[in-house]
Homo-oligomer: A and B are copies of this chain.
Amino acid sequence: MELHQLRYFVTVVEAGGFSRAAVRLHVAQPSLSQQIAKLEQELGQPLLDRLPRGVVPTEAGRRLYDRARRILAEVADATRCVADCRESLEGRLVVGAIPTIAPGLLPRLLAEFSEQHPKVDVQVVEEVTERLLQRLDEGQIDLALASTVDVQTAIHCEPLGKEPLGLLLPARHALARRRQVTWTDLQGEKALVLSELHCLARQVNEFCKTRSVRWHVWFQAAHLGTILEMVANGVGVSLVPQLFAPIANARGCRWIPLDAPRPERDINLLLHNLRYRTRATLAFAALVRRAAQRLGWMTEATK
């Protein structure tokens, strides 16, 4: 058994066929047939059911598939770990963040990080929490920033504190000059909300339900950017994280904090427990923690 055979096998299962897998792997289809056949011969039984339309793993294939993925992930981890013991901080760092955190927080963090560690090639993956967890688990990202998370055993979830939410208004709105607004001010406003795919949407819904605020939902947007533009054009208002205050100002909106009970969302730093943490990963995590303190997210309880 060799690693390239496991790679081939995993890809064939995921692609659902030899031909499609061959395209993804940049090899000819017969090479896959050969290598899989060899693997099956070595293991003494078929791993794939050849159907007219493609292939499906057998019982043995399913067993191998799970383990092969873990093995390949560990090989990748070993590579990272070994590469990390060179003296200078270099290599690739993949940071994940949910879309309601990324645009407000990452630009500053990335700029600061790249200044300190110019040789590190930083990449950003912006996805919803569930997908971040999945990719973290697969070793595709080194660390992630998210809000509320269903903790999995293999994931280390570190609270960074609580970030306040506030009212997003057009600059000309009647409430836009206030230093603060109350929950009753929201009553009856035309609201723009996010798609329920985003955890922020679910959190906002929850807040409104418990505060018995009823507002007219006009529009369900896929991105906060869309909402920002809509609000700037006077279509309605929204409840968004403080991180978006500077962006809001720049686009002709205002962000006003809400009176007690102040709505907040958790911010968590996610790391994988079983994977090697490169020095770049640790450095970025430290940077994130400092930023969390600077932004006043750390409450007494979480400090």
Residues of A within 8 A of B (CB): 1-4, 43-45, 47, 59-60, 63-64, 67-68, 70-71, 74-75, 77-79, 81-83, 85-86
CB neighbours (8 Å) of A63 from chain B are 78, 81-82, 85
**Are B2 and A83 neighbours in the complex by a CB distance under 8 Å?**
no
- Measured CB to CB, the closest approach of chain B to A92, in angstroms, equals 13
> Which residue of the partner chain, among B1, B60, B70, B79, contacts A43 with CB atoms under 8 Å?
B79
Q: How far is the CB of A67 from chain B (nearest CB, A)?
A: 4
Determine how close the nearest CB of chain B comes to the CB of A6; give it in whole angstroms. Answer: 8
Contacts of A60 in B (CB 8 A): 82, 85
Contact B74 A43 (CB under 8 A): no
Assembly of this chain: how many copies? 2
> In the complex, what distance in Å separates the CA atom of A63 from the CA atom of B82?
6
A60 shortest CB reach to chain B, Å: 5
Nearest B residue to A64 via CB reads B82
Residue in A47, A64, A67, A70 whose Cβ sees the most chain B Cβ within 10 Å: A67
Give the shortest distance, in Å, between A35 (CB) and chain B (any CB).
13
By DSSP majority rule, is chain A's interface helix, strand, loop, or mixed? helix
Quick one: given A1-B3, A4-B2, are A44 and B78 in contact (CB under 8 Å)?
Answer: no
The interface residues of chain B lying within 8 Å CB-to-CB of A59 are 85
Contact status B45-A64, CB under 8 Å: no
Q: Give 10 new A-B contacts, CB below 8 A, not counting A2-B2, A2-B4, A74-B74.
A: A1-B3, A1-B79, A43-B82, A47-B82, A60-B82, A60-B85, A64-B78, A68-B78, A71-B71, A71-B74
CB-based contact B71/A75 at 8 Å:
yes
- Chain B residue at minimal CB-CB distance from A78: B67
Q: Bound complex: CA of A74 vs CA of B81, how far in Å? A: 18
Contact assessment for A78 and B83 in the assembled complex, using a CB-CB cutoff below 8 Å: no
Q: Chain B residues with Cβ under 8 A from A2's Cβ?
A: 2-4
A67 neighbours in B (Cβ, 8 Å): 74, 77-78, 81
Q: How many angstroms between the C-alpha atoms of A75 and B68 in the bound complex? A: 8
- B3 pairs with A83, CB closer than 8 A: no
Shortest CB-to-CB span from A225 to chain B, Å, is 40
B64 contacts A1, C-beta separation under 8 Å: no
The chain B residue with its CB closest to the CB of A61 is B82
